[in-house]
Amino acid sequence: MNPGPARPVPVVVLASGSGTLLQSLLEACDDPRYGLQVVAVGADRDGTLALERATARGLPTFVVRLGDHPDRTTWDRALAESIARHDPAVVVSAGFMKILGPRVLERFTVVNTHPALLPSFPGAQAVRDALTHGVRVTGCTLHVVDAGVDTGPIVAQRAVEVVEGDTEETLHERIKTVERTMLVEELPRFVEHSARPH
């Protein structure tokens, strides 16, 4: 097995909730051969478990609340500045429940995980929508974030079967398990081939 780079590639993670995707990435980064390092975690609200996970590991955190700014443009500018302080090669949106604006997207390469096989079922209710439509297979997607809602170039996808009796909660839990593995396995490949030079 080839050793990782002497200096790990810096990653900023944005998360709004429990941070299970973040946790999987942090655990992967514990292996120096992984080649990436989470250097900061940002959120759009205080008191999230994702921030607690970062703090427990001694990582810098930042919170940029939309309500603290007069409009989305100002918020977008503040978020971009907060990310820039940590000089990431790539930004991971891992359950970050805000649409990113042009100041972030023009300045950074951002990837996002989504609990459906895009372009099917974009948006915040992807798992519910898949069940409503009666699909037998759904899954998760890693994609580059662009100005649309879940419309950016697809990096990777993994399928998850819908089983008899699935609820939104049971299906989403199985998707999350696959989503975490996909992010950990595919992010280094994406960074190696696609991220802007650091």
Q: Are 109 and 143 in contact (CB under 8 A)?
A: no
Residue 114: active-site member: yes
Annotated catalytic residue within 69, 86, 114, 193: 114
Where are the extended beta strands (E) located within the chain?
A: 9-14, 36-43, 61-63, 90-93, 110-114, 137-144, 154-161
Ramachandran area for residue 108 (φ above 0: left; ψ -120 to 50: alpha; else beta): beta
Q: Give the Cβ contact number of residue 14 at 10 Å.
A: 28
Residue numbers annotated as active site: 114
